[in-house]
Structure 1
Amino acid sequence: MKDEKKTAREIIETYNGPAIRIMEVCGTHTHEIFRLGIRSLLPDNIKLISGPGCPVCVTPVNFIDEAVFLAQKRQVTICTFGDLVRVPGTVGSLAKARSEGARVEVVYSPMDAYLYAEKHKTEQVVFLSVGFETTTPASCLAVRKAKQNHLENFSLLTANKTMPQAYQTLKGSADAFLYPGHVHAVMGTTSCEELVREGISGVITGFTAKEIVTALAVIIIKHREGKAFFKNCYPRVVTAAGSKAAQQVMEEVMEPCDAEWRGLGTILQSGLKLRAAYETFDARIKYTMPKLVGHSNTACRCGEVLQGKCYPDGCILFGKTCTPEHPVGACMVSHEGACSAFYQYGGIHHG
């Protein structure tokens, strides 16, 4: 039976060729693949590995240290997404700082932080701006609104990152990437097409069972051709151009910079920082942030997990010292983290 006459599931289940290593870059893909039972479809020669596509997981330890410093030494109110509160820093987390009297507010968007600052003008408010191209435009909009309305008690501590440079850094770590659909809904497909010329293969896909299974089948078919490839399997959401409005607000408010990724080190021009026109909203400048060098638990293997060099259950801390209730590393804290997914769904790495 030829591939075109098989269903996507049949293509996967009957694959008997050389091993294919597929990295699901996005943490949401990791969790959905587990939740939907897709790993149970995979023969042993299709290996799924997790990558650095969780913004909380790749945020370095020193960023948490900076946030704790601002909360404790500069007495600002930290507004943040919930996952970051429990991520360990060098000497403690924001949760620990809060238990010691620091003001830490959980919000659901940058605009929530803006509104909090507007309502509490006697407090200095810093939003922890962590994320990829999906969430960065919202941070930019909040800063632009703060500037327009002269809201002087609001600023950002930025750890925003862009994905294409990470794909390049991970070249050779997998035969093909499952690219995150929401990132490329913003940025379009140009970067993926350019990566093909560098020998990097991948498929953009969504988050339903049908979309993920279809993408895996496409990877199998294209991999057999023996050359680098790209395919957009999420055309109902992702266009070639992406969202011009989102790109424009990012271009206006932020500019590229070198950035540290947990596990990957410093990747040139992979970060985003506020432009000079908005630097009064940069918390590092506003509060004269000293240079902080973070140190994580040396036994934690989050860095290797994020590079696809080991599975979470290959870490001696996994499920013992490190659990969702008492996380040692960021990959166990975040609901998009690989360690969290492995723990929640049984800690197996079949496929």
Structure 2
Amino acid sequence: MSIEKKDLARHIVTSYAGPKIRIMEVCGTHTHEIFRYGIRQLLPPAVDLISGPGCPVCVTPPGFIDEAIYLALEKGAVICTFGDLIRVPGSAQSLADARSRGAAVQVVYSQLDAVKYAAAHRDKEVVFLSVGFETTTPGACLAVLQARDEGITNFSLLTANKTMPQAYEALKDSADAFLYPGHVQAIMGTEICEKLKADGISGVVTGFTARELLTALAVVLTEFPKGKPFFKNCYPRVVTAAGSVSGQKLLSQVMEACDTEWRGLGVIPQSGLTLRPEFAAYDARVKFAVPPMDGRSNPACRCGDILRGDCRPPQCPLFGKVCTPEHPVGACMVSREGACSAYYQYGGLTL
């Protein structure tokens, strides 16, 4: 019986009989969409689909939250942030806890909203919590340039921006192939993926629809048994080889690479982005002489293990009991893109 083209990817995925394979989806949106479409239920036993560190809120370490709370409570700064970060635990408290103690925390929907807030409140120091990967970092760069061009001197960034390629290198022993996030590669292009292939790291770029995800999985399961590193762009309608040249130019104009800490992965060399020296006036750490802070996670929380792919959320003793979306203990339950949030929301309460 012939298989229609639209059903071929599903057939390849469901009938896979090759060697065992670990596929890591590193994008939090991929994690949620795979659950929402019921794709995990289609996978044969030989396919182990694991979640990785693709949620920027989840990989933000507790020390960053401690810095933000210090700026709010000790320096009197207004903290502007996206909503998810407010409930992420620091060493002793979250921004939500600090707000109950008098900290000024303002939820914004874009980095430029924070600039507008600073322009409207010139008597207050405004700090935007800049987290995210290559997709959202250009927005932070635009915010800095706008503040500079408009002479807004009471605006700064507290940066925790990260880049993905170094994380793939750090996790190369945790997975046999990666599902690369389509929106990241739309900015950065596919050249870095080819370099990763040359280093022995396999992966495919994919979009976010059911068909795109199934196609990507089918390509992985077709290529993996061949025994050689591979790369395929399964999202060509959005991702090109060059990527967004203007976005890359903006990143290099305003920011430069630095060593940075990832929750669960430790410090990964040159995997962070920080403001260049010429923009130091907009760097909150420089502006307020923020002291070094070694954050501490709750020792019972297994977010770090989950982000490395070493365990699944239901294996954490806190999951679904002490730790729920209403009362999160770890960052992976806070964020809408977190793996724990996905398992909880879509009923993956058991392995």
Deviations 1:243-282 (A, max 9, x none): 0111001100000000000000000000000001100000
Distance across 2 between alignment mates of 1:11 and 1:172: 25
What TM-score results when the alignment is normalised by the length of structure 2? 0.98
3-state DSSP class of the match of 1:49? Answer: strand
Distance across 2 between alignment mates of 1:348 and 1:28: 19
3-state DSSP class of the match of 1:79? Answer: strand
- Is there any run of 5+ residues in structure 1 with no aligned partner, and where? none
3-state DSSP class of the match of 1:52? Answer: coil
Q: CA RMSD in A?
A: 1.4
Task: Kindly report which structure 2 residues correspond to 1:98-137, keeping only aligned pairs within 5 A, or say none.
Answer: 98-137=99-138
Paired amino acid for 1:128: L
3-state DSSP class of the match of 1:151? Answer: coil
Q: Is the 8 A contact 2:86 2:96 kept in 1?
A: yes
State the Cα distance separating 1:224 from its structure 2 match: 1.6
Task: Kindly report which structure 2 residues correspond to 1:42-57, keeping only aligned pairs within 5 A, or say none.
Answer: 42-57=43-58
Paired amino acid for 2:248: Q
State the Cα distance separating 1:120 from its structure 2 match: 1.1
Distance across 1 between alignment mates of 2:284 and 2:115: 14
Task: Kindly report which structure 2 residues correspond to 1:310-329, keeping only aligned pairs within 5 A, or say none.
Answer: 310-329=311-330
Matched positions, count: 350
The ranges of structure 1 where at least 4 consecutive aligned residues each deviate by more than 3 angstroms after the TM superposition are: 1-6
1:168 aligns with 2:169: yes
Paired amino acid for 2:219: V
Q: Which position in structure 2 is the counterpart of 1:96?
A: 97
Q: Is the 8 A contact 2:320 2:349 kept in 1?
A: no
Identity score, percent? 66
Q: Is the 8 A contact 2:63 2:90 kept in 1?
A: yes
What TM-score results when the alignment is normalised by the length of structure 1? 0.98
Task: Kindly report which structure 2 residues correspond to 1:15-26, keeping only aligned pairs within 5 A, or say none.
Answer: 15-26=16-27
Paired amino acid for 2:242: A
Distance across 2 between alignment mates of 1:107 and 1:38: 34
Deviations 1:270-322 (A, max 9, x none): 00000011000000011110111111100111001000000000000101111
Task: Kindly report which structure 2 residues correspond to 1:250-289, keeping only aligned pairs within 5 A, or say none.
Answer: 250-289=251-290
Q: Which position in structure 2 is the counterpart of 1:142?
A: 143
Q: Which position in structure 1 is the counterpart of 2:240?
A: 239
Q: Which position in structure 2 is the counterpart of 1:335?
A: 336
Shift of the 317–19 alpha-carbon distance from structure 1 to 2, 3 Å rule, reads same
Paired amino acid for 2:226: E
3-state DSSP class of the match of 2:52? Answer: strand
Distance across 2 between alignment mates of 1:81 and 1:349: 31
Q: Is the 8 A contact 2:333 2:340 kept in 1?
A: yes
Paired amino acid for 1:303: G
Q: Is the 8 A contact 2:19 2:225 kept in 1?
A: no
State the Cα distance separating 1:348 from its structure 2 match: 4.5
Distance across 1 between alignment mates of 2:130 and 2:3: 45
State the Cα distance separating 1:347 from its structure 2 match: 2.2
Distance across 2 between alignment mates of 1:176 and 1:273: 29
State the Cα distance separating 1:349 from its structure 2 match: 6.4
Distance across 2 between alignment mates of 1:143 and 1:228: 40
Shift of the 227–4 alpha-carbon distance from structure 1 to 2, 3 Å rule, reads farther
Q: Which piece of structure 1 moves more, 5-14 or 81-90?
A: 5-14
